[in-house]
Structure 1
């Protein structure tokens, strides 16, 4: 094959690419606007190429590089290192581009990583559709890279282009580019081999673009005001007509014919009926069992609620009373429902962020009927405002769709429509974070949830993300855990429709693999405190005294020179980590994990003995062996959030050794090309059709694992295009859009999958 139609692309690389842009820079500057970093024309170009995780590469005579990424390892990577680091500093507007051909039969989510000589790194990702060739680029410097729109992990394209903008994932958002020492291309968690051809890795000066490119991008329905896309709403009448058509269709639907009243498999074997959900191993495969004794596979959508679907408007209030936080609250800020703001507080209104406020082409006046959908966030995790007014376009669209015959009657309609959708689409349950309004429903089983928050001691580490970890040895943590469980018990009233209980989410235990500080940072933090200030430290010192007969024995193991046990009880930091010391760090992490799970288990056993304890939904990056070992002792079902293309057999083989049922608490796939949204989510598809196929592939990987008893897609509704208020997530991850319109490809795929899920899972692996 020609080198990506080489005559069109490369003959005048340094000038043609720039001349086709809308740049107004003087022509004599064009030669400096594009810098070729790697065109793979010569094996002697000073570029060192290596691989990790089973990736393989070939230099073609035509001057491209072909790469095959392995589906066996979690990370499969190609690494490019120049003999002398590239200096890309001094360019105020800069992006890095490359030409990628996807030679696979499936789309590829390609991660583009950078490292500099200082050891700092950053990662972005982009999707290239199957069989297509695309120029992809990473925004490295400039106004568009620096402006904080309040988005999480994403930027808005600042100029029109057919090139694909990669999305920031993790690391240093704005990397020091004075000594770029490595560029990597990788995949992660893929289920099949991926094949690409890459060429012309180059640094380009950004074209000119307006500084207010981000102004007025949200329309009156919470959609992208600047682009058209399938299903875009243009009027309230159109929105109402879509609702009426769906209501008529749902009125003729119901449970799939092979389902019991609880969503179990009524055509399959019937086991003991206990009146509540339970677990049982059948023919070597774990299952849940519904209250009537039928085999049950938990598949559905998580986050069926409106609590985090609002977005900040850029308005705040000078009256501090609106930011009061009840110290006895059991609901964290990101899960709060509607917070009404009084007229007195609104009288102190001011624009806290012009950037945020100017994002909207319309917001209702406070005397508008749709002003009921204003709320407030007392604290914000990410973005240009730290607190402020919010607006829920989704909630407003529900009122537009269903009308209001009495106060908030549209909410009651939405609740019933949601239940009808779940049954029509074949889902068997609602996942974590379902609105408590659904707890009394007797049509779709659900999982209840709670958070242990309060004024207890905490521990932190460099991998702490959402919040610091609770010190589970603190008596206040034990008290607050019981308070949380008591609230859950009051809400669910021992309903047999409640499958089980999730408590907390994605706690930052430490990395499964990494440096000592990344794996055991919580323990090192505890050791840096005194026993008087840290209940965990006190527990660890007690355990160490039981293990080591003398302080001298501990010193020999740890390579330390502590003068006595009293010295260990004081603040201590460490620079060296002998093998015996690392083993003790591991022991203490298991102690901390054991204490946490025991406290939660005991509170649940005391208060909700008939319901399954579903664990803490560990993030796949934050599930150390020590924590998993502790969770197994106390959880009825393990839970993990896995944002990859599916479950790779090698990575998840540890479940066979544990021999407990497990559920995937979160996964999703999104796209931007046909949604108007600016971010696809954590796993990216090429478009809605590809998204549906990737969803099916993920679920097939779940069915193939004998320990997996379910998987919950995150989430029911797309995030706001301008980012949800607390953390700025603006992802296409919903089964329905911001206008509450289902995505047809996703609905079609899930109905097909769910129609045969029970007989398929039952037969898999049977002899």
Structure 2
């Protein structure tokens, strides 16, 4: 095919390329336009490269030039910023994607991440980012989508309470001044290259007229059709009958014991409860009967997990039922929203489309049928665990092992700390232990139950960068218990304030002055003391919970706090002293190369992972993207098989059982992450691959290193 390329100079740096392409393009059928932001062929472009905890150099090859970044690991985003030239921001609002070529030129595997812009709303900034996994010597192209769909509404429409919105550009991209390339969650120095940074993709523009309402009586998107979309109650009931008939005959995988352990493997000591043991160099869970057990489960097996807010958004929904109708029972009140549209609108009215669809399918016995079918599905799918935050009515039936969930509530907080889910506990306040004890006693569902594997306690705590909680402590008022303990530790170490001042480069007049001060010291100069107290916080947190949990549930495993995001060796090593199994929420494409800190050898459980797609009426793929349901299945298999090969990993739980509502849960998440859609129908292509994986999981783990 003959391509015609047109070059047009933009500003001082950047070119628009219009390239004729075939009519089946995902973009405009006539042309793709492209804006080159950096190609590094002109050395003057390096003036607009700003390193952070890194150095860089221009590398000129025979036919190409690029920059090589040598980064450290003291910052969350260690790498470089590429700045718009001559104080002229880029207008990227007319482009669907940013692309950049990157390579790993170091000796270790790494992830290179790209953030487009610096929106003050951290969530919007995260939307405009992505990353790639790179083995040493490997090159890839990072692709960041700038809108939720390849088409946009013009003019843009205001849709609230949803993270993914059809036809919407993700953020204000008319005044972009920077692109950030970093080594994601770096824990060591490494090197990567950046080249050919460009924007491309001409949007199809659509009118927003008649968009509202856009959700039908089943909770589905009105303005599209797809395989499996329900069009009537009759169709819904017919599909339910077919599945119930199938499940009544399904037997699940062979060689499984009462609790799902592998009867075809070795028989170990049976204690009557789940425990862990290392066998032939690999960690395993051992079930109550003494069989090897690798936990593969689903989070949020609960019909009440997927309500959506309707207050202030009534026009989004077609045919909401009357509150005095049979479907009125599915209205409710939302009382929690730490982020998003409903954060300052508590309480708010809600509706649960998923439960109403269960009622359409199963009638008045919908909840009992939901619980029964969940057990049957999990067994048929070759899975063996009901995961985090699930239905007690289902777990109490003693048909499928499960995990317990405890949230430590009503604790004093370190006022100077910060995190996505809020401030961190002040573990030195005497009332912290009281709160831990009360929280465990009030949430002890599963204690001493043979079917309960153990307890997750808290979720995705913000441990931050190394020493960050110590800095938060110093920023807190003098009345903070943690601060009093920290200052007393420093007083014991240095005795005299002048000695601390010499090390920290500060000028406190007294220990009392340090206690009252709220400014942060130089992090590098105070690093040893900041890290020491940070470690003390971590050890005190895990030790206190371990002691109180074991008083109530001595036969269950302490599964930890579901570490997420960046985690350093100090906190992980501290946790390993008190946890039976260390849990991580790992949203990656693979965990085959997962590493624990040097010297730590403990069993590991993946608390959350998922992959989502947009081919079945959803608006958001979730955290990890697939192109369709079949690829979701392949990604599940790749992830689980990578985990099965890992000697420390003893299980992985998918988030979650049911798709999130298209109009968003309490914080706006509206991800296609379920094994089931909003109408309670399984995604067949995904399930097929799941079963292919799980039916042979024990043999796979045993035969692969």
- TM score, norm. by length of structure 1: 0.76
What secondary structure does 1:249 align onto? helix
Distance of aligned partners of 1:142 and 1:79 in 2 relative to their CA distance in 1, 3 Å threshold:
farther
Mapped to 1, the partners of 2:279 and 2:360 lie a distance apart of 48
Mapped to 2, the partners of 1:523 and 1:82 lie a distance apart of 33
Task: Give the superposed CA RMSD.
Answer: 4.3
- 1:194-234 CA deviation, whole Å, 9 max, x = no partner? xxx99893488977654567522211111111111111000
Alignment of 1:101-250 (within 5 A): 113-115=115-117, 122-123=125-126, 124-125=128-129, 138-139=146-147, 147-152=158-163, 154-158=164-168, 173-174=171-172, 177=175, 180-182=177-179, 201-202=198-199, 209-210=206-207, 215-250=212-247
Match of 1:567 in 2: 513
Distance of aligned partners of 1:66 and 1:731 in 2 relative to their CA distance in 1, 3 Å threshold:
farther
Mapped to 2, the partners of 1:227 and 1:218 lie a distance apart of 11
Distance of aligned partners of 1:188 and 1:588 in 2 relative to their CA distance in 1, 3 Å threshold:
closer
What secondary structure does 1:453 align onto? coil
Indicate yes or no: 2:296 matched with 1:299: yes
Deviation at 1:656, TM superposition (A): 6.2
Deviation at 1:383, TM superposition (A): 3.5
Task: Give the conservation status (yes or no) of the 8 Å contact 1:233–1:739.
Answer: yes
- 1:328-353 CA deviation, whole Å, 9 max, x = no partner? xxxxxxxxxxxxxxxxxxxxxxxxx2
Task: Give the conservation status (yes or no) of the 8 Å contact 2:216–2:318.
Answer: yes
Correspondent of 2:481 among 517, 535, 547: 535
Deviation at 1:127, TM superposition (A): 11
Indicate yes or no: 2:356 matched with 1:396: yes
Match of 1:331 in 2: none
Distance of aligned partners of 1:583 and 1:66 in 2 relative to their CA distance in 1, 3 Å threshold:
closer
Mapped to 2, the partners of 1:440 and 1:82 lie a distance apart of 57
Which sections of structure 2, spanning at least 5 residues, go unmatched? 9-14, 24-31, 69-75, 103-110, 133-140, 187-193
What secondary structure does 1:737 align onto? coil
Mapped to 2, the partners of 1:572 and 1:603 lie a distance apart of 33
Mapped to 2, the partners of 1:569 and 1:187 lie a distance apart of 35
What secondary structure does 2:277 align onto? strand
Match of 1:526 in 2: 473
Task: Give the conservation status (yes or no) of the 8 Å contact 1:637–1:663.
Answer: yes
Distance of aligned partners of 1:9 and 1:259 in 2 relative to their CA distance in 1, 3 Å threshold:
farther
Deviation at 1:572, TM superposition (A): 3.1
- 1:700-733 CA deviation, whole Å, 9 max, x = no partner? 2111210100000100000001111x11110000
Mapped to 2, the partners of 1:400 and 1:603 lie a distance apart of 44
Correspondent of 1:706 among 637, 647, 655: 647
Deviation at 1:143, TM superposition (A): 8.1
Match of 1:684 in 2: 625
Match of 1:720 in 2: 661
Q: How many residues align?
A: 652
Task: Give the conservation status (yes or no) of the 8 Å contact 1:145–1:155.
Answer: no
**Greater RCO between the two (CA within 8 Å, min separation 6)?**
1
Mapped to 2, the partners of 1:118 and 1:494 lie a distance apart of 47
Mapped to 2, the partners of 1:572 and 1:682 lie a distance apart of 37
Indicate yes or no: 2:589 matched with 1:645: yes
- 1:398-433 CA deviation, whole Å, 9 max, x = no partner? 1111111xxxx2101000000000111110111211
Correspondent of 1:474 among 429, 433, 439: 429
Distance of aligned partners of 1:402 and 1:475 in 2 relative to their CA distance in 1, 3 Å threshold:
same
Indicate yes or no: 2:693 matched with 1:695: no
What secondary structure does 1:658 align onto? coil
- 1:68-113 CA deviation, whole Å, 9 max, x = no partner? xxxxxxx999979478257347x796445458999xxxxxx99653
- 1:533-563 CA deviation, whole Å, 9 max, x = no partner? 2111122122222222322222222222222
Task: Give the conservation status (yes or no) of the 8 Å contact 2:5–2:18.
Answer: no
Indicate yes or no: 2:438 matched with 1:483: yes
Task: Give the conservation status (yes or no) of the 8 Å contact 1:99–1:198.
Answer: no
What secondary structure does 2:471 align onto? helix
Which 10-residue stretch deviates more, 209-218 or 584-593?
A: 209-218
Match of 1:670 in 2: 612
Match of 1:443 in 2: 399
What secondary structure does 1:657 align onto? coil
Alignment of 1:78-117 (within 5 A): 81=82, 84-85=85-86, 87-88=88-89, 94-95=94-95, 97=97, 113-115=115-117
Match of 2:575 in 1: 631
Task: Give the conservation status (yes or no) of the 8 Å contact 1:222–1:721.
Answer: yes
Alignment of 1:267-306 (within 5 A): 267-306=264-303
Task: Give the conservation status (yes or no) of the 8 Å contact 1:617–1:639.
Answer: yes
Mapped to 2, the partners of 1:740 and 1:613 lie a distance apart of 32
Distance of aligned partners of 1:262 and 1:209 in 2 relative to their CA distance in 1, 3 Å threshold:
same
Task: Give the conservation status (yes or no) of the 8 Å contact 1:111–1:187.
Answer: yes
